[in-house]
């Protein structure tokens, strides 16, 4: 590694250009460039050769934070690849500033790469001083931005169409010994009568051919007494199952248990085992399983509108905000469709509020079943609904809006012939981020204005926003 300070007596000739490039990186966009430049002055420009180790996993070394300028870095843990950092402004080592100790992951340059590195001493405040340096401001900023982006990512990954039905728990058993297998299958079935228990073949597991997941797997990672397959067997199981109970002679030694725990095993049972111990552990895991399901149901209820079963306003806000947060990184446009039932007051006044509620539920189920996986259908309030379509441009959103309009018009709704239009219909407004709006509020306003125009023009239409 060859390094050059970015400023000694005078600034490095490239300091200004480097600041500008990093300022465009995903964690630095909201930051004052002057503050960033101030921080970069304290850094060193480091050039790494291909394959050069920047951090060695597990090794205690001078803690450093780095910002990528050019090239590509691979982050690895326990010899598996975790992620690639190849965008200017990507950050490594920031956690070591907070939590000194051995590196929790390794970082290696994949190609010749250029970084700005900051030694940990920079973060130390002088004793009895209340002053915070620019570097700390930037650092806090990086952490906040990273958190914002990862939160947005998990929010989008979390299912948008959580099903209300409770599936029976799925339990798999991997054991090459036929007697042990039979005994374990019988015990699981006994402790967990509602579970779907099945044998899982080790070969299929290791080939990675299994697609269906499990809630719990009982695994003996020792195949016929050989320990060569232990790690691959556990790794494959962890990918498939939420909880793992290792039942094996291998669990006898503490060192082995520690290794298994690090790979993600939930509980251990040494062979030969007593039936009581096995039942006891299975009951504990069963309790943990139902607690987790309850927690998910509570979370789901907090995000759901009771009358219609659609996402509520809270979930909607969270979802749009996550998409907007990730936009600078993913550059994926998304669209918003707002729908309002036509002359609904008339329906309520004529047939009563309760019949009105039935109509809202019917309209909702049309929306819910007609949006794609990954889209979100929400009740915005009253008889207004919002659909969010990630990765969807304006032309497609208009097409989907038209499909929804047609579906509501075609739906057979009691007494709809008595409505002023002779049918129960809805009017739609469509707007796309970022072509029609520069913020979430603006996007909603644009779609709402279209809705208003649709009502003015006679209802039962889809109107798209005019690009800004």
Enumerate binding residues for ligand GH3 (CB under 6 A): 307, 340-346, 348, 353, 356-357, 360, 382-383, 455, 459
User: Which CB atom, from 244 or from 377, has the smaller least distance to ligand GH3?
Assistant: 377
Please choose, from the candidates 219, 163, 171, the residue with its C-alpha nearest in 3D space to the C-alpha of residue 192.
Answer: 171
Of residues 21, 16, 63, the one with CA closest to residue 41: 16
Q: Which does 345 bind (CB under 5 to 8 A by kind): Mg ion, ligand GH3, none?
A: ligand GH3
Instruction: Report yes or no: 146 and 91 within 8 Å, Cβ to Cβ.
Output: yes
Nearer to ligand GH3, 333 or 454 (CB): 454
- Where along the sequence are the contacts to Mg ion (CB under 5 A)? 340-341, 344, 383
Least spacing, CB of residue 15 vs ligand GH3, in Å:
59
DSSP class per residue in 397-439: HHHHHHHHHHHHHHS--TTGGGSTTSS--EEEEEEEETTT-SS
Euclidean distance between CA atoms 231 and 259, whole angstroms = 9
Tokens for 390, please give them: 């990630």
The CA distance from 409 to 196, in Å, is 43
286 and 243 Cβ atoms separated by less than 8 Å: no
Q: For the chain, report the end-to-end CA distance as a whole number of angstroms.
A: 49
* Residue 466 Cβ vs ligand GH3, minimum distance, rounded to whole Å: 22
Q: What does 175 bind: ligand GH3, Mg ion, none (CB cut-off 5 to 8 Å by kind)?
A: none
The residue among 18, 338, 374, 12 whose CA lies nearest residue 161 is: 374
Q: Which is nearer to Mg ion, 134 or 404 (CB)?
A: 404
Q: CA-to-CA distance for 6 and 442, rounded, in angstroms?
A: 42
Shortest distance, position 346 Cβ to Mg ion, whole Å:
9
Provide, rounded to whole angstroms, the least separation between the CB of residue 99 and ligand GH3: 50
Q: Which residue, 192 or 428, is less far from Mg ion as judged by CB?
A: 428
466 φ, ψ to 5°? -90, 130
Q: CB nearer to Mg ion: give 344 or 433.
A: 344
Q: Which is nearer to ligand GH3, 210 or 355 (CB)?
A: 355
Residue 459 binds: one of Mg ion, ligand GH3, none (C-beta under 5 to 8 A by kind): ligand GH3
3-state SS class at 385: strand
Report in angstroms how near the CB of residue 358 gets to ligand GH3 at its nearest: 8
Q: Least distance to Mg ion from the beta carbon of 437, Å?
A: 21
The item of ligand GH3, Mg ion, none sharing an interface with residue 353, based on CB under 5 to 8 Å by kind, is ligand GH3
- In the bound complex, what is the minimum distance in angstroms from residue 317's beta carbon to ligand GH3? 19
In the complex, which residue's CB is closest to ligand GH3? 356
Query: What is the C-alpha separation between 386 and 281, in angstroms, rounded?
Result: 46
CB of 432 to ligand GH3, least distance (A): 23
Question: Looking at beta carbons only, is 281 or 451 nearer to Mg ion?
Answer: 451
In which residue are the tokens 């889809």 written? 462
Residue number with CB closer to ligand GH3 (330 or 346): 346
Q: What does 313 bind: Mg ion, ligand GH3, none (CB cut-off 5 to 8 Å by kind)?
A: none
């Amino acid at each position: 590694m060859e390094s050059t300070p970015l400023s000694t007596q005078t600034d490095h000739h490239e300091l200004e250009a480097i600041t500008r490039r990093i300022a465009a990186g995903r964690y630095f966009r909201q930051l004052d460039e002057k503050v960033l430049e101030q921080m970069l002055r304290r850094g060193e420009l480091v050039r790494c050769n291909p394959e050069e180790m920047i951090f060695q996993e597990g090794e205690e070394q001078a803690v450093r934070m780095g910002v990528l300028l050019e090239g590509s870095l691979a982050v690895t843990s326990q010899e598996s690849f975790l992620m690639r950092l190849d965008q200017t402004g990507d950050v490594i080592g920031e956690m070591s500033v907070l939590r000194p100790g051995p590196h929790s992951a390794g970082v290696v340059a994949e190609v010749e790469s250029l970084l700005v590195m900051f030694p940990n001493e920079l973060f130390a405040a002088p004793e009895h001083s209340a002053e915070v340096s620019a570097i700390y401001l930037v650092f806090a900023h990086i952490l906040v931005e990273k958190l914002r982006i990862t939160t947005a990512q998990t929010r989008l990954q979390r299912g948008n169409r959580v099903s209300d039905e409770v599936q029976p728990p799925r339990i798999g058993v991997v054991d090459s010994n036929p007697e042990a297998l039979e005994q374990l299958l019988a015990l699981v079935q006994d402790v967990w009568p509602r579970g779907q228990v099945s044998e899982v073949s080790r070969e299929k597991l290791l080939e990675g051919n299994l697609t269906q997941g499990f809630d719990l797997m009982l695994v003996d990672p020792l195949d016929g007494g050989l320990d060569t397959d232990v790690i691959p067997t556990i790794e494959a199981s962890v990918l498939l199952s939420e909880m793992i109970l290792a039942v094996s002679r291998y669990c006898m030694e503490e060192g082995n248990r520690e290794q298994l725990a690090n790979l993600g095993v939930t509980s251990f049972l040494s062979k030969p085992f007593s039936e009581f111990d096995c039942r006891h552990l299975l009951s504990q895991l069963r309790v943990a399983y139902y607690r987790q399901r309850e927690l998910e149901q509570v979370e789901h209820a907090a995000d759901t509108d009771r009358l219609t079963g659609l996402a509520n306003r809270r979930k909607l806000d969270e979802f749009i905000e996550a998409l907007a947060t990730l936009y600078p990184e993913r550059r994926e446009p998304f669209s918003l469709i707002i729908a309002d039932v036509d002359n609904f007051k008339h329906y309520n006044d004529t047939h009563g509020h309760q019949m009105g509620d039935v109509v809202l539920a019917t309209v909702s189920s049309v929306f819910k079943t007609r949006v794609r996986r990954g889209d979100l259908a929400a009740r915005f309030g009253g008889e207004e609904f919002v659909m969010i379509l990630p990765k969807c441009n304006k032309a497609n959103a208009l097409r989907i809006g038209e499909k929804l309009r047609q579906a509501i018009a075609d739906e057979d709704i009691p007494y709809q012939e008595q409505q002023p239009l002779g049918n129960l219909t809805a009017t739609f407004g469509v707007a796309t981020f970022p072509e029609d709006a520069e913020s979430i509020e603006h996007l909603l306003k644009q779609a709402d204005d279209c809705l208003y125009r649709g009502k003015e023009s006679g209802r039962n239409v889809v109107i798209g926003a005019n690009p800004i």
